[in-house]
Structure 1
């Protein structure tokens, strides 16, 4: 039986007025999924006064490494620690390509690089087992060096810290970025300390040369005594929210302006300070980045060889909220429709679009093509 591999293609049809070729980027500060990098091929096609922007995002299992492990640690009041609940998180694997083939990638993602960086202990391990060896030794290092900050324990602060860093051409760790929970600065510092203590690596290689490799790992801190209280409050909030959702029905918006016609398009908050001529470019880049970080081919659909295009239509309302999400996919494509809706529903709150000097509801479409590669 021939195996097929999943990919997602998101083609966003946008009207561009005298705008040059868009640039596909994944901003360094976005580390929601540190090891995720995707293929993003952008094409501009002239069509009278308008251009069509096509964005392709795909996953290739030929470069799949074993699942990384999210390290969860519990710190005790008496400074004793034990590690529990090591959770596995699937990686989104892919490749970044630009129209300009001469462009170079400054940092190659761990799951794309041809020869991954290695702990010295993994140097003689068979190639197929090297990624597993790397992750095993990374987990052991975190466990061995972990120390729950006492001030965080006393304050009941816990949560996940996402850490992204680079292993440079000399095998040294640099450019460490952390993102932790609210009030979790001490957790971020501890995560940074752990990563700084990593030993020197055998550097990675790509296209026959030594390169910088970007890697990320989530570390979950769980403080004794904080879980029950927090979970109690969280449960109440969740129950209240679910009850609210049952009672409150989403209002269908009919007074909207199409994205291609609105005078001032909705904006990601990060785009509000860019010059007007660059706002559309910024919007496109942020939308691409969001798709890259959040797409995931449903496993059940892949197993059943279900593929095809899903049209997703939604409204960015006068408050900047995404609402009225509707999907239309292929026959038997309900799983694909749900995945497309999930991806869109995770969009952040926007700065609303404006039309005739007032905040406007703006209609937007994204066609998402789910394809299985041989």
Structure 2
């Protein structure tokens, strides 16, 4: 329904699971030190368990510990995405379906990356991944008990070739590469029906079946109350106007990577402002592991 001079919004889960780290551990001293082990005869602590994670320089302004770890994962994903997309442009046949990989490397006490290992995949892809990882910038080293330590970063993921809705001029199907968390189930790594949706804490008592409906209703109300619908008149717009916002609810429960598309840059900016005000949510889960998930939010209003 479209309301005159009011905002209506609907949230729909796109079920796009991004390349993200496993749940982070904040256990006792004994639990933490059980994670110390030897990797190629180097004593390491896992990225998920280390008290102060190693981070890239671009992540140091992120305050929340969970999002700092998330920032590292996203930086690595972006670098891999770019190189694999280049390979796809050169050779569309290099992958058919999904490739499962287990990536491991050490972030040393100096912040450099060492001992990269890849299990699975295929030679051409593995060569590119090794190149990407070795080319990553030095990191601010991780710490345990205020001492620098070697940190083992390990990720099991899928490289997926997906068909885009977009068609090339010559009529061929257009493809893109997507990296997805691999929990060992399904061709896409995570089965959609196995996800407990992200939701607001006040929706928790309703049960997981109603999480999405409850959360959608609350986001709808929040946007309606906070969006400046008067901008339409200020910009000289008329009739029905639509703004499409996409964002990620991270495994930390925060809204990240928000993007907006609308009839005017000021409306896009306003949509991003409002989405940025949304409170933190209870993150989505799969097999008791927190995961990031992408959402779409259409904002529709009428100006007369």
Shorter chain as denominator, the TM-score bin is 0.3 to 0.5
Greater relative contact order, per chain length (Cα 8 Å cut-off, separation 6+)? 2
Larger radius of gyration: 1
TM-score (norm 2): 0.40
Q: Which has the higher strand share?
A: 2
TM-score (norm 1): 0.33
